[in-house]
A = this chain, B = another copy of it.
Amino acid sequence: MQETALLSTIPLFNGLSEQQYTSLSRIARELQFERGQTIFSEGDAGKGFFVVANGQVKIYKLSIEGKEQILHVFGPGEPFAEVAVFTGSDYPAHALALKKSKVLFFPRKAFMDLIGANPSLAMNMLASMSLRLKKFANMIEALSLKEVPGRLAAHLLYLRERQNHTDTLQLNLPKGQLASLLGTIPETLSRILAKMTQQGLLLVDGNTITLLDSDGLEDLACGERRL
């Protein structure tokens, strides 16, 4: 597979020895998915977990009426569906490739064995899942305690953080998907972006957003201000 190079770029596998990379690459399987293709569905038997090699994958839930709530959007180097490894049960959500993606698959059993033998791998896994939990806690807080403008503002500031504090953001998602990530619908998101623009908080051009008043957004994100 000549994949140890790829594996070494994955944060989850940081600090492993050359030999451990070899063990990993031995159990990994490489999968290709087209844009829009389902990787697994909620309720499927959780046979293992995945790491995005390249492309983009969303993890989401669906309501009976078809409304979608995105839980995560993962890019290169990020693992997903680890939960299935340790609970040994079904996948608790759906996964779908948002772009043409290469994905590494690690079968449950083999990976568990590796973890048992490699404490540092276990520690990495724990750290990764801790961050995930923290993110979920913030998402619950946002959904329950903030209104949509606040959630949007928080998300934009989060993106600015990740893009080196530049005020010109590139959305890595179509707006409709962003709405689903924020727990709302495209119509509402559109209206709120319009209102924010009108108030001079930001500037929208396609999927480029320029933040004009991050302090104002900050206030919104903390619930100290309304639109």
Contact = CB atoms under 8 A, between A and B. Distances in A.
B122 A126 contact: yes
Contacts of A119: 115-117, 119, 122
Contact of A63 (B112, B122, B183, B223): B223
A64 interface: yes
5 contacts: A67-B145, A87-B131, A92-B134, A116-B123, A136-B136
A19 interface: no
Interface of A: 61-65, 67, 69, 71, 82-83, 85-87, 92-93, 112, 115-117, 119, 122-123, 125-127, 129-134, 136-141, 143-146, 183, 222-224
Contacts of A122: 115, 119, 122-123, 126
Contact of A140 (B67, B69, B112): B69
A176 B122 CA distance: 40
Nearest to A184: B144
Nearest to A134: B92
Nearest to A133: B83
Nearest to A69: B144
A126 B129 contact: yes
Nearest to A64: B223
